[in-house]
Amino acid sequence: MKLLETINDPADLRQLPRTQLTPLATELRQFLLDSVSKTGGHLSSNLGTVELTIALHYVFNTPHDRIVWDVGHQTYSHKILTGRRERMPTLRQLNGLSGFPKRDESIYDTFGTAHSSTSISAALGMAKAAKLKGEDRHAIAVIGDGSMTAGMAFEALNNAGVEEDCNLLVVLNDNDMSISPPVGALNRYLARLMSGQFYAAAKTVGKSVLPGPVLDLARKLEEHAKGMVVPATMFEEFGFNYIGPIDGHDLDSLIPTLENIKKLKGPQFLHVVTKKGQGYKLAEAEPILYHGTGKFNPTEGIKPASAPSKITYTEVFGNWLCDMAAVDKRLVGITPAMREGSGMVRFHQQYPERYFDVGIAEQHSVTFGAGIATEGLKPVVAIYSTFLQRAYDQLIHDVALQNLDVTFALDRAGLVGADGATHAGNYDLAYLRCIPNMVVMAASDENECRQMLTTGYHYPGPAAIRYPRGAGIGAAIQPELSSIEIGKGVVRREGKGIAILAFGSMVAPSIAAGDELNATVANMRFVKPLDVELVKRLAKEHDYLVTVEEGCVMGGAGAAVMEALAAEGIAKPVLNLGLPDKFIDQGDPAALLASVGLDAKGIAASIRARFAAGEPRLVVINS
């Protein structure tokens, strides 16, 4: 029997002699590779945290001691060691394991994560709560170097450093990578810490004291960290006891160091150095490619698609950005750490001086853009819908209130599939349309996306263009940079009785539903300003109105239509279709849409169900 198969709980792990941990790590890494190659998932980060995960569960008494994983995209080993090994084939699929920690999935998942940089705050809260309740436990935040760049992480450090009675351990998992190469001054600082003599010295110390007195090591480590290389690290200035850097793949360094730290009181900071993709040569060489993968053959590695696939919205944006930058020198492109995901690799190559990866710092990215706009340049902030949630006040206070000319390219709008509820861009229409000065557009196809980007770019105030993850309907894209009229929708299908007012990605399935019901279908294009004239006309010429959006129904585009009707004093039966008032977990995007009735069949069925009873005109439609 394989060692890994004997571990169904961290308590089993803690029974193993230390000598078995290295073979266990080898098995675990192989299991991870096999498993992720069959399901897809975040491979590079998980390969990098195998030893760290084993060491944390081995040394700490989980789940009594709390581990909070930042982002949580590196928790597959944690899932495997905490009783979920056999469910790994269901990872990131409908009704399967989440790709992130989830409190209702396991008692070992102490805090739900997926948006980065929350772990120190959450772990500090747990540590403080333990003190208040008189409970003796450790709280451990494991945070990557990329996630460490966010303001939230520093807000938490600032707070934690003075909480001297808290048993908080922050483990900085430093692999010198975000999704893309890391950026910024913190990265430089960490590189300086790592390049010092101390790294080698700490490893030697870790080994030489085994199995000697543990407190000795702690003292030695402290001496080294504080005196021999850097007088005081930034983390010590924050009030932490800084230990490291140590080799995060060396269990003989990790375990004694963690055992020592466990005995220390107050806020501790352990700096471990790991390699993204560790143990799988292809991922080590190309950690970005293997950051998030689909299914692949591990022997061959990820191969470029043989047949050209349909262009994605992300590519539409990336191409537009380069084309617009070529004709307008004022254009500046900003990404908060999502160069690849947002389609900005080519722009970075072609216009390095106008490209800004600001790190995982969504709030800063928006206000940075606002500052650039005040000087007459034209910032385009490319940001996933879900991550713009982080920068809501910046959007209102810094951009919209001053009516600054910032264009927001909102990728991953609507359901995103395998990442699930944490990453779904379901709220943007609702949270954007209530902000004065904003223009808010939802693209229904690739060409319209390009036109909307141009329209938003030329609009002299804040404008947001939302588009979904993946490919669109395959519309031909016109090369010119043409605009559309702001606040005007278009009727795409003339029918009778029912008018479907569709937004963005819901236009195509609404047309198919319209064909089935002989309904009129309008592509509304703008959520703000809404085409009120079109709404009035459709209301006048039809008996029933239906709004359809891939966004939350509450407060969304359909609500905008209802408000317009009320403001005009028009009473009309209206059905609002969109995402329900619940979080939707991971799964195949098409299946998820169908599950909430947002495919053509579901739209038609909802319309029939809503308007059939006692509505004679529908008898005509159905006949």
Ligand X SMILES: CC(=O)[C@@H](O)[C@H](O)COP(=O)(O)O
Ligand Y SMILES: Cc1ncc(C[n+]2csc(CCOP(=O)(O)OP(=O)(O)O)c2C)c(N)n1
The residues carrying an active-site annotation are 276, 362, 390
Interface with ligand Y (CB under 6 A), residue from 29, 66, 73, 262: 73
469 binds ligand X (CB under 6 A): yes
Asked if residue 267 has a cis previous peptide bond (ω within 30° of 0), the answer is no
Residue from 93, 106, 175, 314 binding ligand Y (CB under 6 A): 175
Contact call for residue 343 and ligand X (CB under 6 A) = no
Other C-beta atoms lying within 10 Å of the C-beta of residue 302 = 18
Pair of tokens at residue 361: 């710092």
Minimum CB distance to ligand X smaller for 71 or for 604: 71
Judged by beta carbon, residue 29 or residue 115, the one nearer ligand Y is 115
Q: Tell me which of 405, 419, 428, 550 binds ligand X, using CB under 6 A.
A: 419
- Applying CB under 5 A, the span of 69-77, 170-178, 478-486, 587-595 interacting with Mg ion comes to 170-178
How far is the first Cα of the chain from the last one, in angstroms, to the nearest whole number? Answer: 65
Distance CA 586, CA 92 (A): 6
Q: Among the candidate windows 182-190, 412-420, 574-582, 612-620, which touches ligand X by CB under 6 A?
A: 412-420
**Shortest Å distance, C-beta 270 to Mg ion:** 15
Residue (148 or 524) nearer to Mg ion, CB: 148
Q: Which residue has the tokens 């360094």?
A: 253
Binding mask 141-180 for ligand X (x = CB under 6 A): --------------------------------------x-
Distances (CA, A) of 45 to 52, 79, 286, 539: 12, 14, 12, 53
Query: Which region holds residue 489: left if phi is over 0, alpha if psi is between -120 and 50, else beta?
Result: beta
CB of 589 to ligand X, least distance (A): 11
Phi-psi region of 497 (alpha: psi -120 to 50; beta: other; left: phi over 0): left
Q: Is 92 in the site for ligand X (CB under 6 A)?
A: no
Q: Hey, is 84 helix, strand or coil?
A: helix
Could you tell me how many residues of this chain bind ligand X (CB under 6 A)? 10
Taking alpha carbons only, the member of 573, 516, 571, 581 closest to residue 546 is: 573
Concatenate the DSSP letters of all residues of 132-179 into one string: HHT----EEEEEETTGGGSHHHHHHHHHHTT-TT--EEEEEEE-S-SS
The angle, 0 to 180 degrees and rounded to 10, between the axes of the packed helices 198-208 and 185-195 is: 50
Contact 254, 261 (CB under 8 A): no
74 binds, among ligand X, ligand Y, Mg ion, none (CB under 5 to 8 A by kind): ligand Y
* Binding letters toward Mg ion, positions 131-150, x by CB under 5 A: -------------xxx----
Identify what 390 binds: Mg ion, ligand X, ligand Y, none; CB under 5 to 8 Å per kind: ligand Y
CA geometry: angle at 365 spanning 418 and 384, to 5°?
20
Residue 444: CB minimum distance to ligand X, A: 20
Choices 131-139, 171-179, 220-228, 494-502 (CB under 6 A): range interacting with ligand Y: 171-179
- Contacting ligand X within 68-87 (CB under 6 A): 71, 73
CB 481 within 8 A of CB 504: no
Q: Kindly list the residues in this chain that would bind ligand Y in the complex (CB under 6 A).
A: 45, 71, 73-74, 114-116, 144-147, 175, 177-179, 276, 337, 360, 362, 387, 390
Q: Kindly list the residues in this chain that would bind Mg ion in the complex (CB under 5 A).
A: 144-146, 175, 177
Q: Kindly list the residues in this chain that would bind ligand X in the complex (CB under 6 A).
A: 42, 71, 73, 179, 292, 341, 412, 416, 419, 469
